[in-house]
A and B are shown apart, each in its own frame.
Chain A
Amino acid sequence: MENLSCGQVIALLSFYIDEKLNSNLMKNIEYHLNTCSFCRNKYMQLRKIYDNYADIKSRIEEDNDEYIVDDAIYRNQQYEFFKENLSAYIDNELKTEDNLRVKKAAIINPIARTELKNMLLFQQTLHMAFQKTKNNLKKDFSGGIICKIRDSLPKFNVNSDLSAWDKLINMLSNFLKSRGIFSNGK
């Protein structure tokens, strides 16, 4: 049997607790702990911390299991209906009775409630993004478009009081008159 120094044993303690060492080394450390009170105290302290940790860990896992069981209760037919119609619900596109069913689910069922909240938050974010995109347009095209269609319209006397369509009709009838197709009743 090899004699280990206290420093070596303390360095290997956490591996010893996890039983990650070969059997020979495990035996050597055990022997040392039986003979050295200093190292035994260190070992007891560390052991306690590990045990507490393991205890807390198992309790959290238990809680999670319970949570999953609770979760399953809410994933019922009502929830399925809610899920199917949530999108149309926020668009106000459901019939009155379906609207009420979705609203009821959102009140009773905590999972449904969270999903409704998330959906509304998502919608709000979309709308903010849309607003931002709209303001990305820094140019004004409207004047240019008007110029384009004005060019395609016949030219008129600007000072005249007649509206554009009246002018167009006048021009047309003048044109027809000049060709003798349309006479003004004379």
Chain B
Amino acid sequence: MKLKVSKEKILNSLQKVQSVVSSRTTIPILSNVLIKAEKDRIHFTATDLDVSVIAGCEAQVTKPGATTLPARRIFSIFKELPGPDIELEVDDKNQASIRSGSSFFKLVGASEDEFPPLPKLDAAKTYSLDQGTFREMVRCTCYAASHDESRPMLNGVLLSFKDAKLAVVATDGRRMALFEQEVEFPKGSEGDLILPFKTVEELNATLQSAGQLKILTTPKQIAFEFDDIIIMSKLVEGTFPNFRQVIPAQAEESIALERETLLTALRRVSLVSGDNSTSAKLAFSKNKLEITVTAPNVGEASETLPIKFTGRAITIAFNPDFLMDPLRTLTSDEISLELTDDMNPGVVKCNVPFLYVIMPMRVS
């Protein structure tokens, strides 16, 4: 294998695969990146066996071939090379020679055959979406996913393709975030997919705000193709709970609130939260919202916000973090909070097709 490539391009591609290269793995080959050169492109592949990322860039390939090299080491070497171009040559023994300006490096690699083969996505269903939209849907929901390993199907984000709509849902049994958009896909491609949390993080880090996104799935695997990147991942097995049944049919009061104001007030009062069981008490009365946090052994804090509200007075307690999560990720100026009483769930809505159901806390 022999090629010449611009330093900027190769660094950009390598950067995208770094995050799945594990620093402490029991399988040494996984700390290497697979480099494949063909025609006028090179591809870098890194995997931790759960998630794989493939990133490509243009290169002048004089001799095609493939090898694996230690991922972190070549990234730091390429970063320091004087540039602007890098020449890479790999011999039959997987020994790489790197030349750039006055620098010369010789690195020991490992054979391509040792690298785990990537899953094949034959007979896959395909969906086509806008990258920015999908990124926003995932970003606005993923925080609600559960981290409790005893319920693996909640340890991720649900993509539910149904009735010409895509619903992205995450829940931990206490709150649920749902983002629903109309998308086009073939009639026979309806189905539910649960993305593992790790893949969601990878997507959050690499998806761009514009461009095409292609999703390919088989019952156990999923691949996201966009720009010069492919992210492949296992799917979580199991059935996601019926998320539609926890959405309250209707609420008695719908209160319009300024998102930023509510968020900063909550952020301030939760500075006194003593531990993860702190609750924020929201008391709605005529044109006034009072938020109070009392933490034993720490102290208490309260905020009073002017609001537009003329309904029945309601007092309800929420986990302040649960309430802040959607406020942080949404971008609209105003949200609405729908409440019935202190025992029934609250619902956060806004001007985008987003919905957040949150169960109140009770104090015995």
Partners in one complex: no
Question: Measuring CB to CB, which residues of chain B are less than 8 angstroms from any residue of chain A?
Answer: none
Question: Measuring CB to CB, which residues of chain A are less than 8 angstroms from any residue of chain B?
Answer: none
